[in-house]
């Protein structure tokens, strides 16, 4: 695809799409949406880039190994956050009860571990979208 208009539009929109996706992830506990919807928006931004600029260019930006790493990291991060409760002597995924400060209601940091957990899930969902897309693209051989 060598369309000038398409390339300019995606180049212009991409930062905002990514920013919006990250916004939705980080505000999962405050506003509608969360790690799943935000992760998908972030992932779709990367997919739009590789659709318009070609899969080789996007491979230069994020290698397949990198997406696999992020994907595994997201899932492991979730498990690690769950273990915080156990390490503090309470049960798995325990948040306030295991002595984590909940922050000020309504502010960005207001859910204890929830912000960190949604970050992990968001990363996982975004990289899964990219991995799915690249494996479907490579299917043609």
Partner 1 sequence: MAAAVKDNLPVLLIVTLLSSAYLLPILTRVRKFRLVEFFAVFVLALTFTGGVVLAYKVLATGAFNYIVGGWPAPWGIELTINALSGIFLLTIGLVTIPILLYASADLVEEVGSRQRAIWFLTLFLLLTAAASGLAVTGDMFNIFVFVEVATIASCAIVSARNDAASVEATFKYLMLATIGSGFVLLGIGFLYMLTGNLNLNFINMELSTTWHNYPTALWMAMSFFTVGFGVKSALFPLHVWLPDAHSTAITPASAVLSSLAVKGYIVALLKVFYLAVGAKIIFALPITNILLLLGMIAIIAGALFALSQDELKRRLAFSTVSQIGYIFLGIGLGTIQGLAGGLLHILSHGITKALLFLAAGTIVKRTGKTRISHLSGLGFEMPITFGVFAVGTLSMIGIPLFSGFVSKWQLLLGSLEKGNYLAVLVLIGGSLLAAAYLLPVLRVAFFQKSEEEQIREPEAPYVQKVAMLFLAVVIIFVGMFPGIFLELARQAAESLLGMEVLL
CB nearer to partner 1: give 58 or 127. 127
Residue 62 C-beta: closest distance to partner 1, Å: 15
Residue 116 C-beta: closest distance to partner 1, Å: 14
Residue 117 C-beta: closest distance to partner 1, Å: 11
Q: What residues line the site for partner 1 (CB under 8 A)?
A: 65, 68-69, 71-73, 75-76, 79, 82-83, 85-87, 89-98
CB nearer to partner 1: give 97 or 103. 97
DSSP readout, 2-29? Answer: --HHHHHHHHHHHHHHHHHHHHHHHTTT
Closest among 42, 96, 47 to 34, alpha carbons compared:
42
Closest among 81, 64, 88, 63 to 120, alpha carbons compared:
81
Please give the Cα distance from 64 to 16 (Å, whole number): 24
CB nearer to partner 1: give 52 or 114. 114
Other beta carbons within 10 angstroms of residue 111's beta carbon come to 20
Angle at 116 between CA 110 and CA 120, to 5 degrees: 145
CB nearer to partner 1: give 31 or 68. 68
Residue 97 C-beta: closest distance to partner 1, Å: 4
């Amino acid at each position: 695809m060598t369309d000038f208009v398409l390339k300019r539009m995606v180049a212009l929109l991409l930062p905002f799409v990514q920013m919006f996706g990250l916004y939705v992830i980080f505000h999962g506990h405050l506003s509608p949406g969360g790690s799943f919807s935000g992760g998908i928006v972030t992932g779709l931004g990367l997919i739009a880039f590789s659709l318009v600029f070609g899969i080789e260019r996007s491979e230069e930006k994020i290698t397949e190994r990198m997406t696999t790493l992020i994907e595994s990291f997201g899932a492991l991060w979730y498990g690690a956050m769950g273990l915080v409760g156990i390490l503090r002597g309470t049960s798995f995924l325990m948040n306030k009860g295991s002595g984590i400060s909940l922050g000020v209601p309504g502010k960005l940091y207001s859910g204890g571990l929830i912000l960190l957990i949604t970050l992990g899930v968001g990363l996982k969902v975004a990289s899964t979208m990219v991995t799915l897309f690249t494996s479907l693209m490579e299917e043609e051989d």
